C-alpha cells in the first residue's frame, strides 16, 4: 500500500543511502522510494540553518509551498516528492562538505603537511561526526568501507586545495565536487523495499 508523502522513516532511509550515493539521480530516487505517493499541495521542508559542532548538527526547518501546477495529482511521485528528496540529499552534502572543510583546516592548523597523514577510520572524530548525522542512533551497523574511502579522498581534496591557496577563489569547491560525484557506489537492492529499515536495523 502506498503512503501519502514522505515520512520520518523515508528521511532515515535517505540518510542511510547517503553512505552509498552522494549524488543520486531523480530516476534512481523514484526507484528507491516507489512506495511514496504525492497527495494534496506540495510543501517542501527545507533546513534554514545548520548549527555545526564536531559531533552533531541542529537543523531548523522552514517550509516552502510549491505552486499547485508543480504537484498535479496525476503526476503522483513527480516533482513534489522528487524535489523534496533532491533537497534532502543537497542538505546531506552540505553537512558533509562543511565537516570536510572544517577538519581539513583543523589538520593544517595542527601542523599536518602531507595528505598521507590524513586517514579516516571508524574511530576518528570526523567519522563519528558523520555517522552521528546520518546514522544518529548508530543502529545501522553496515556502513560500507567504501564510504570511509570516499570520505578520506574528500578530506584530502579539501586539504590539498586549501594548502595550494585555491580557497581564495569563490568557486574553489566545484573542482572537489566534480571528483566526489564520480565516486558513488551502487545502493543495495534491499533499499528498494518499503520495509528496508526493519530489515536493515532488525526492528
Supply the CATH number for residue 22's domain.
1.10.10.500
Instruction: Please indicate whether residue 24 or residue 34 has the higher confidence score (pLDDT).
Output: 24
Q: How many whole angstroms separate alpha carbon 202 and alpha carbon 199?
A: 5
Domain count, the chain: 1
The pLDDT > 70 percentage for the chain reads 77
Judged against a pLDDT cut of 80, whether residue 41 lies above it is answered with: no
Please, which pLDDT band fits residue 201 given cuts at 50, 70 and 90? Answer: confident
**What is residue 2's predicted lDDT score, i.e. its pLDDT?**
52
Any idea which of 4-13, 49-58, 86-95, 184-193 has the lowest mean pLDDT? Answer: 49-58
| CA angle in degrees (0–180, nearest 5) for 50-62-75 | 120
Q: What mean pLDDT is predicted for residues 72-101?
A: 86
Beta bridge partners of 47: 61
Burial class, 17, CB count within 10 angstroms (exposed 0-12 / middle 13-18 / buried 19+):
buried
* Domain assignment of residue 17, given as a range: 3-201
Please, which pLDDT band fits residue 45 given cuts at 50, 70 and 90? Answer: low
HSE (CB half, 13 Å, CA atoms) of 32?
Answer: 27
**What is residue 50's predicted lDDT score, i.e. its pLDDT?**
44
Please, which pLDDT band fits residue 80 given cuts at 50, 70 and 90? Answer: confident
**What is residue 112's predicted lDDT score, i.e. its pLDDT?**
97
For residue range 128-184, what is the model confidence (pLDDT) as tens digits?
999 999 999 888 999 999 999 999 999 999 999 999 999 999 999 999 999 999 999
Whole-structure pTM over 0.95, yes or no? no
Amino acid at each position: 500500500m502506498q503512503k501519502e508523502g514522505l515520512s520520518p522513516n523515508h528521511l532515515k532511509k535517505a540518510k542511510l543511502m547517503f553512505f552509498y550515493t552522494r549524488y543520486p539521480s531523480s530516476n534512481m530516487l523514484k526507484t528507491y522510494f516507489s512506495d511514496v505517493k504525492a497527495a494534496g499541495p506540495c510543501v517542501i521542508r527545507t533546513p534554514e540553518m545548520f548549527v555545526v559542532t564536531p559531533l552533531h548538527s541542529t537543523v531548523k526547518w522552514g517550509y516552502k509551498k510549491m505552486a499547485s501546477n508543480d504537484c498535479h495529482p496525476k503526476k503522483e511521485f513527480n516533482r513534489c516528492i522528487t524535489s523534496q528528496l533532491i533537497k534532502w540529499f543537497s542538505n546531506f552534502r552540505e553537512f558533509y562538505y562543511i565537516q570536510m572543510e572544517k577538519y581539513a583546516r583543523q589538520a593544517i592548523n595542527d601542523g599536518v603537511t602531507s595528505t598521507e597523514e590524513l586517514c579516516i577510520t571508524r574511530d576518528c572524530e570526523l567519522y563519528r561526526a558523520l555517522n552521528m548525522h546520518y546514522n544518529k542512533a548508530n543502529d545501522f551497523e553496515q556502513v560500507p568501507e567504501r564510504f570511509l574511502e570516499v570520505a578520506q579522498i574528500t578530506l584530502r581534496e579539501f586539504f590539498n586545495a586549501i594548502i595550494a591557496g585555491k580557497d581564495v577563489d569563490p568557486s574553489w569547491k566545484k573542482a572537489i565536487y566534480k571528483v566526489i560525484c564520480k565516486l558513488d557506489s551502487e545502493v543495495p537492492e534491499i533499499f528498494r523495499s518499503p520495509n528496508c529499515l526493519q530489515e536493515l536495523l532488525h526492528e
